[in-house]
Amino acid sequence: MKKNIISFVVIVVALIAIVYVVKNPDFDIKKLLATELGQKKAVTKNLTAEEVKGKASDFIAKNMVKPGTEFDITEVSEEFGLYKLQLDVSGQAVTAYITKDGKTFFPTVLDVVDSEKANEAGQDEVQAKDLEIPKTDKPQIDLFVMSFCPFGNKAEDTLKSAYNLLKDKATFNFHYIVSSKGDAIQSLHGEKEVVQNEREACVLRDYGKGKWIDFVTYVNTNCGSDGTCWEAGAKNLGLNVSKISSCVTADGTGLMKKDEKISSDAGASGSPTMIINGVETKSVYQYGNSEAYKQAICSAFNDAPTECSETLEATATTAGGSCN
Greatest Cα pair distance, the chain, in angstroms, is: 101
Query: In the predicted model, is pLDDT for residue 313 greater than 70?
Result: yes
Between 36 and 279, name the one with better pLDDT: 279
CATH architecture of 49-106: Roll (3.10)
Residues 145 and 176 sit within 8 Å (Cβ to Cβ): yes
What length does the chain have? Answer: 324
- Nearest-5° Cα angle at 271, 308 to 117: 110
According to the model, what pLDDT value does residue 13 have? 41
Alpha helices in 24-84 (DSSP H): 29-36, 49-63
- Listed in sequence order, the residues at least 6 apart from 319 whose beta carbon sits closer than 8 Å to its beta carbon are 122, 123, 126, 285, 286, 287
The per-residue pLDDT of the chain, averaged, comes to 82
Segments of the chain assigned to CATH 3.10.450.630: 49-106
Number of other residues whose CB lies within 10 A of the CB of residue 43 = 6
Ranges 2-6, 86-90, 236-240: which has the least confidence: 2-6
Query: In the predicted model, is pLDDT for residue 30 greater than 80?
Result: no
Query: In the predicted model, is pLDDT for residue 160 greater than 60?
Result: yes
- What is the arithmetic mean of pLDDT over 151-156? 95
- What is the arithmetic mean of pLDDT over 257-276? 97
Question: 239 pLDDT band (50/70/90 cuts)?
Answer: very high
- Listed in sequence order, the residues at least 6 apart from 140 whose beta carbon sits closer than 8 Å to its beta carbon are 170, 171, 172, 173, 276, 277, 278
According to the model, what pLDDT value does residue 92 have? 61
| DSSP summary character for residue 239 | -
- Measured over the CA atoms of residue 130, residue 132, residue 137 and residue 143, the dihedral's sign is negative
- Listed in sequence order, the residues at least 6 apart from 280 whose beta carbon sits closer than 8 Å to its beta carbon are 131, 267, 268, 273, 274
According to the model, what pLDDT value does residue 297 have? 97
According to the model, what pLDDT value does residue 145 have? 98
Question: 213 pLDDT band (50/70/90 cuts)?
Answer: very high
Task: Return d(Cα 251, Cα 215) in angstroms, integer.
Answer: 19
According to the model, what pLDDT value does residue 22 have? 47
Which has the closest alpha carbon to 221: 230, 211, 210, 208?
230
Which has the closest alpha carbon to 190: 229, 225, 154?
225
Percentage of the chain modeled with pLDDT above 90: 54
Helices 150-166 and 290-298: crossing angle, nearest 10°? 60
Ranges 9-18, 151-160, 239-248, 259-268: which has the least confidence: 9-18
Percentage of the chain modeled with pLDDT above 70: 74
* 127-144 residue pLDDT tens: 445 678 999 999 999 999
Half-sphere CA count of 246, side-chain side, radius 13 A: 6
Query: In the predicted model, is pLDDT for residue 238 greater than 60?
Result: yes
According to the model, what pLDDT value does residue 197 have? 97
According to the model, what pLDDT value does residue 14 have? 47
Query: In the predicted model, is pLDDT for residue 191 greater than 60?
Result: yes
CATH architecture of 115-319: 3-Layer(aba) Sandwich (3.40)
Query: In the predicted model, is pLDDT for residue 303 greater than 50?
Result: yes
Query: In the predicted model, is pLDDT for residue 156 greater than 60?
Result: yes
Segments of the chain assigned to CATH 3.40.30.10: 115-319
Helices 150-166 and 209-222: crossing angle, nearest 10°? 140
Q: List C-alpha distances in Å: 307 to 79, 166, 313.
A: 56, 7, 14
